[in-house]
Structures are given as C-alpha cells and as structure tokens.
C-alpha cells in the first residue's frame, strides 16, 4: 500500500444522485454523477424509486469513474463510501457495493460522513481555508454552521430547527407551482425581479435557523392575493422569487455574521447545493468586503452531492489511518 500516496475510489449514494470518483495523492481524477430527474415528476424525492435507480446506475457510474481517471482496480489502495446521514435504502446500495469491492480486492474500507465531506469539499481546489474556519453547509436536507478546527475536529455550532435552506427554496417553489427542485429556478427568476415583499425574518436564539415560518408566510400571502387576482403568481413571479431568495439569504447571512463575531473567525466556507445560489454568493462577497473575511466556495460540481467530496474526506482519513470494519451500518441521522 502506498501509505502517503493513496489512490482511492469513493462512492456517494445518500440521496438521489449516484456518484463515484477517484482521488490520487489528494487530486481528484474523476467525479461522475448520475442524477435522477424522475423525482421532478413527483414534486420531491421518492426514497424507494431513488434506491432502485441507484441499483441500476451504480455499476456503470463506478466503471465510468475508473475509466475517466485512467485507474485500474489493482491500483486502488482503498474504497470509500458515504455511510450517512441520508436515505436508508439509497445509502445501503452504495455501501453494499463499496464493501463488496473492498472485500474482493482485499483493501481497506473507509466510512465517510456526508456532512463532514461537504465541509471538506473546500480542500479539493485552491484557495483552501485556513483552520479554524466556519463552514455554512446549506443543502436540501441540512443547514448547519460548523466550527472546523482540523480535518477531523468539527463542531456543529448552529443548525436548522425545522426545514433546511434548500427545502425552503423547494417548498416555496411548490407553492408557486414550480418544478422540483425549485432552488435553481428561483435563483434564475430572482435575477429579473425586485425583492419588494417583506417576508418575515424569524428571530431565533443564537446560531440556530428556522425556515418553516417563511413557507407559511408565502402560502398566506399568495392565497390572499389570488383571491383578488387569480393570475397574481404569473404576473408577479419574478418579484415573488426575488423576495423569497432575499429572505432566505438574509436569514443565512445574519447567522453566519453572528457566528463570525462570536468566534472571532474571518475564514468562512460555504458548502452544499444552496452554495450555488447567486444571491447567497453575492451577499457573502459583500459581507467579506465589509468585514474583511476570506470567503470560500467549492466549484459547482463539488457543491451538490458528489463523490469528489467523499474522496477528499477519505484521503485525509487514509493519511490518519482512520479505516472502518465491513460490519459498519448506514445511518439516517448524525454528524
């Protein structure tokens, strides 16, 4: 085994994207992602459908990742896979496949936590944050502020009490009749509108978040205006989207500012699918100028769920000798 120069195959299947990637000596050689567009038809992820599609996709995705990387099975030093948090059926598909590969090749298995991997996606490309830094992880399933002291030492210092930020985008979109996932579409429409509707910003203690009140506020606002004009949404869609995005971004921006002051940290990372949002990016760049922060965003392909982030997390676990037995089970929640 090349102890300091590991070549690792990583697999991610925690939600609705089947992904595999290869990392060698800390450099990502491939990051293949097969998305499952079918969930748009149902307005959200159907877990049973997701796990069946993972099963259909996984062999091809892994094969493609190895081919794109130009790596053969005998060159691999370890197999890594997300063990949680995520959907039980989806996780089980990737994990069984990964364990099977590790067993048949006689190489170590590395269990990776999905949330920690989102944080470590900042170490794939340059520039990289310096420790300690604060990471705002915002996705369809999670909203967390993490105090990151090293590759291994991470503390969740704030999190959502109800919906995640991505979920707030998606549920708001559903009220407006937009297809799932609505986040990218709201982002696009918001660019043509003005944030002129004052949706409330919840006052939540310390570093925690809440987004469920926003959903209710939008629902009532739309219901009241549709009574007067059935075409209200159509006529005002861009402004409504701009206002929703403005509110979600403001909730996130206030909490990360509070955390930066509280811990006196000026290194700020943003990870997860919502890190792709242009309004959030602009707001954080504004704050970085005002407060003298260094703000870091991973490349888009490493923001949404992907095996590249599992691979980089596995790379550091490998260097520290943090391997797992093949008896490890998937888990739905936990950091």
Q: Scan residues 185-244 and list those touching Zn ion (CB under 5 A).
A: none
Is the separation of the CB atoms in 214 and 199 below 8 Å?
Answer: yes
Q: At what angle do helices 183-190 and 278-291 cross, to 10 degrees?
A: 70
Task: From 59-67, 163-171, 198-206, 259-267, give the range in contact with ligand KG4 by CB under 6 A.
Answer: 163-171
Q: Is 305 among the residues that bind Zn ion (CB under 5 A)? A: yes
> Measured from the CB atom, is 90 or 139 closer to Zn ion?
139
Q: Scan residues 181-220 and list those touching ligand KG4 (CB under 6 A).
A: 181-184, 187
3-state SS class at 295: strand
The residue ranges of DSSP E strands in 169-272, in sequence order, are: 267-271
CB of 194 to ligand KG4, least distance (A): 18
Nearest Cα to Cα of residue 32 among 23, 21, 43 = 21
> Measured from the CB atom, is 267 or 305 closer to Zn ion?
305
Q: HSE, CB side, 13 Å, CA atoms: give it for residue 111.
A: 17
Q: What are 9's two structure tokens?
A: 């195959």
Q: Scan residues 219-278 and list those touching ligand KG4 (CB under 6 A).
A: 272-274, 276-277
Return the one option of ligand KG4, Zn ion, none that residue 166 interacts with (CB less than 5 to 8 A, by type): ligand KG4
> Measured from the CB atom, is 65 or 182 closer to ligand KG4?
182
Q: Residue 170 class from Cβ within 10 Å (0-12 exposed, 13-18 middle, 19+ buried)? A: buried
Q: Give the number of residues in contact with ligand KG4, rule: CB under 6 A.
A: 19
Q: Is 15 among the residues that bind ligand KG4 (CB under 6 A)? A: yes
Nearest Cα to Cα of residue 143 among 208, 218, 84, 47 = 208
What letters, b where the CB count within 10 A reaches 16 and e where it falls short, cover 231-266?
ebbeebbebbbbbbbbbbbbbbbebbbebbeeeebe
CB of 226 to Zn ion, least distance (A): 34
Q: Scan residues 276-305 and list those touching ligand KG4 (CB under 6 A).
A: 276-277, 304-305
CB of 276 to ligand KG4, least distance (A): 4
Binding residues vs Zn ion (CB under 5 A): 139, 305
Binding residues vs ligand KG4 (CB under 6 A): 15, 139-141, 166, 169-170, 181-184, 187, 272-274, 276-277, 304-305
């Amino acid at each position: 085994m090349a102890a300091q120069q590991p070549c690792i195959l990583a697999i991610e299947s925690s939600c609705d994207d089947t992904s595999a990637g290869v990392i060698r000596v800390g450099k990502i050689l491939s990051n293949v992602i097969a998305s499952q567009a079918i969930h748009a038809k149902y307005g959200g992820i159907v877990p049973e459908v997701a796990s069946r599609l993972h099963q259909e996709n996984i062999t091809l995705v892994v094969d493609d990742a190895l081919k794109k990387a130009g790596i053969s099975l005998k060159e691999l030093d370890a197999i890594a896979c997300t063990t949680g948090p995520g959907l039980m059926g989806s996780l089980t598909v990737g994990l069984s496949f990964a364990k099977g590969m590790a067993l048949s090749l006689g190489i170590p298995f590395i269990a990776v936590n999905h949330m920690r991997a989102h944080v470590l996606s900042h170490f794939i490309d340059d520039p990289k944050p310096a420790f300690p830094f604060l990471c705002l992880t915002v996705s369809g399933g999670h909203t967390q502020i993490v105090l990151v002291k090293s590759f291994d030492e991470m503390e969740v210092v704030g999190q959502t009490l109800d919906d995640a930020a991505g979920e707030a985008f998606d549920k708001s979109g559903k009220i407006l009749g937009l297809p799932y996932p609505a986040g990218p579409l709201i982002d696009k429409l918001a660019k043509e509108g003005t944030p002129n509707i004052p949706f409330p910003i919840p006052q939540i203690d310390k570093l925690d978040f809440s987004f469920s009140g926003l959903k209710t506020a939008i629902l009532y606002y739309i219901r009241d205006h549709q009574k007067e004009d059935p075409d209200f949404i159509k006529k005002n869609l861009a402004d409504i989207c701009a206002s929703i995005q403005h509110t979600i971004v403001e909730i996130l921006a206030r909490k990360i500012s509070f955390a930066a002051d509280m811990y006196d940290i000026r290194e700020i990372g943003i990870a997860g699918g919502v890190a792709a949002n242009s309004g959030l990016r602009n707001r954080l760049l504004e704050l970085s100028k005002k407060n003298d922060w260094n703000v870091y965003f991973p490349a888009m392909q490493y923001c949404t769920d992907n095996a590249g982030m599992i691979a980089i997390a596995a790379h550091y676990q490998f260097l520290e000798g943090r391997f797992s037995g093949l008896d490890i089970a998937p888990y739905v929640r936990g950091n």
